[in-house]
Copies of this chain bind each other. A is one copy, B any other.
Amino acid sequence: MLNLNQLRIFYHVARRLSFTAAAGDLFISQPAVSAQIKCFEDFCGLRLLKKRGRTLHLTDEGMALYDYARKIFECEREIENALEDMRALKRGVLRLGTTKTYARYFMPDLITRFHEAFPNIKVQLNEGSSLEMTESLLDFQNEVAIVAKAVEHPDVVFKPFSQEEVVLVSSPGHPAGEKVHLTLEELTHEPIIMKEKGSGTRKLVAEAFSKKGLVPNILMETSNTEFIKQLVQRGEGIAFLVRAAIALELQEGKLRILRIAEKPLFLDVSIAHLKGQSLSPPAKVFLEMLSNIAAAGGAPNKGLRSLMADVLASHWSRPSRP
């Protein structure tokens, strides 16, 4: 097998046409170069260098080999650059999993912030239910997931990140809107358009009902929040949705929030990643960023030029739960 250390020494000798100079470049002694070149020529079974007087020349074979060696060590240089870029976060991938709702209403801001700090890290955003995204960590599809804590897993760490209020919404003219405080019992008579099974919202709502021994009247279910909003606007039913998801519709008066007699529903959003320090540099800094945001109470990024600015503002400035 080719000894690449010897090839490296040969490369430097060929480049400088001097054993001594090559030794200097490589920070080794001249006899070390002599010995390795000799070994290398023996291995090759070819003379690679000729000496005339005290000037060194490459043989034809040496030339051919030098051409190849240059390719290899150019490639080595590329590797070193790539390594440096990866270490310095000038290059890399952040594979991130979130729920559809989160991806739609909260991620644009987060990703924009991340890109501002690390412009060269590609973000690959994958969507799925909280459970799917948590499981996607286990087979390395994603490195970080932002989810409603679904199922505890021994190898996954969940860090609380934020709490999203889940509100009951109807069309502005919906008769249920007359009541000041709707009870869950009363709601069982109303057709509800529900998020799909596996959804964090669905789980939260379902638990609220079942805690009282009640069964909601589910008219239909879908994972498509926009679709739910459309149906609710048309008065087909009412729905439980994350407040931030309906910010625009509230502003425009297309939807209204129905007050319920219960204490407000909050969806716990967590950052999930595998246990252990096995995070890539991009994932590490992303988690750091999220920690900082969480610690700062989710203060909005004022410099953000996102179209979602208003929606996001309503998200980040929501009053924290008592």
Contact = CB atoms under 8 A, between A and B. Distances in A.
Contact of A82 (B8, B64, B76): B64
Contacts of A261: none
Nearest to A72: B75
Nearest to A78: B68
User: How many copies of this chain?
Assistant: 2
Interface stretch (A85-93, A262-270, A302-310): A85-93
A224 interface: no
Contact of A46 (B52, B68, B75, B83): B83
How many A residues touch the partner, as a band?
Answer: 35 or more
Nearest to A71: B75
Contacts of A278: 47, 50
A82 B68 contact: yes
A100 B45 CA distance: 35
Contacts of A52: 138-140
Interface stretch (A14-22, A55-63, A103-111, A206-214): A55-63
A75 B75 contact: yes
Given A46-B281, A65-B82, A68-B82, A140 B75 contact: no
B76 A72 contact: yes
Interface of A: 2, 4-5, 7-8, 44-47, 50, 52, 57, 59-61, 64-65, 68-69, 71-72, 75-76, 78-80, 82-83, 86-87, 91-93, 95, 138-140, 278, 280-281
Given A60-B92, A68-B75, 20 more contacts: A2-B76, A2-B79, A2-B80, A4-B8, A46-B281, A47-B280, A50-B140, A52-B138, A52-B139, A57-B140, A61-B86, A61-B92, A61-B281, A64-B91, A65-B83, A68-B82, A72-B72, A72-B75, A72-B76, A72-B79
10 closest residue pairs by CB, A with B: A4-B4, A68-B79, A60-B93, A45-B87, A72-B75, A71-B75, A61-B86, A57-B140, A44-B83, A2-B76
